[in-house]
Amino acid sequence: DPTAKKMPKKKGEDEREVPGVIRKKAVKQLLKDIPTTDWLHDGNNLLWTRKSVTTLHDQRKEVEVPPTKAGGRPYLVGLEVKFEQREIDLSWLHRPQVNKDPAEAMVAISEHKRFVQVAIRTLAQERDELIAQGRKVICADNRLVCDAVTLKYGREMWFGYIGQLEIVNGGLGVGGRIGAPRATLSLNLVASVGLPQMSVIQLLGKLGAKYPGDWRSERDAERDVVWHYWGRHRSFEREI
């Protein structure tokens, strides 16, 4: 029916919407002349910069992002930066704002809370080369607790942590007045199970091995997969 109304597209289906990976690369390209310690991007529409950065106020610029696939065409992304009067002062998180109304102080701290949560996730990925999933940060080596623990069927157990910033009520003060809110940071140790990087043949060998975890059994399963399903020979080198 040509007169029927079109349903709005879901997030990610609009051809004009820039994918998150491309947006992130475009922001890095835009800020390539600014030290990475002077800005923080949440991956979406929020960008924080130090006060010393004055070259980004209220501007629109087109940035060319290299293609993500070999032989592909580069992306041309339009970025618009608008300056907002949002000051981040991390000392507010441990120093109550006694001169502010509790409601106003709560709004100000909420902005700081978002900044800290983004910093925990982003800095863990980009500076420490860890894995971040939401608020969970996963460390697949021994920098946190120990090396990855090998499990059956090719899986591994990795340790990580969840950093959670919470705002707590300041309680009742003198004269029944509610005290200024405070911030608390909690770190919880967590464990995650996943698959390390490997080829499809190696994964099938681990899943089909007669004796899971045994090197020879896994290699026999790999050989069976290659010979019987792909019909081609694959040489195996014995690991010492």
Q: What residue spans define the domains of the chain?
A: 20-81, 90-194, 200-230
Query: What pLDDT was estimated at residue 233?
Result: 47
Sign of CA dihedral 88, 92, 94, 100: negative
Does residue 15 have a pLDDT over 60?
A: no
Query: What pLDDT was estimated at residue 98?
Result: 57
CA–CA separation, 208 and 193 (whole Å) = 19
Tokens of 182: 């405070």
Provide, rounded to the nearest whole percent, the portion of the chain with pLDDT above 70: 76
Reported as half-sphere exposure (CB side, CA atoms, 13 A), residue 112 has a value of 23
Query: What pLDDT was estimated at residue 236?
Result: 47
On whether the pTM is more than 0.75, the answer is no
Amino acid at 180: A
φ/ψ of residue 189, rounded to 5: -75, 130
Tokens of 44: 């979406």
**Tens digit of each residue's pLDDT (9 = 90 or more) over 58-100:** 788 888 888 877 777 888 888 888 888 778 888 777 765 556 6
Tokens of 7: 């349903």
Tokens of 237: 């080198």
Tokens of 41: 């991007």
Does residue 164 have a pLDDT over 50?
A: yes
Query: What pLDDT was estimated at residue 174?
Result: 67
Tokens of 168: 């707590």
Query: What pLDDT was estimated at residue 16?
Result: 62
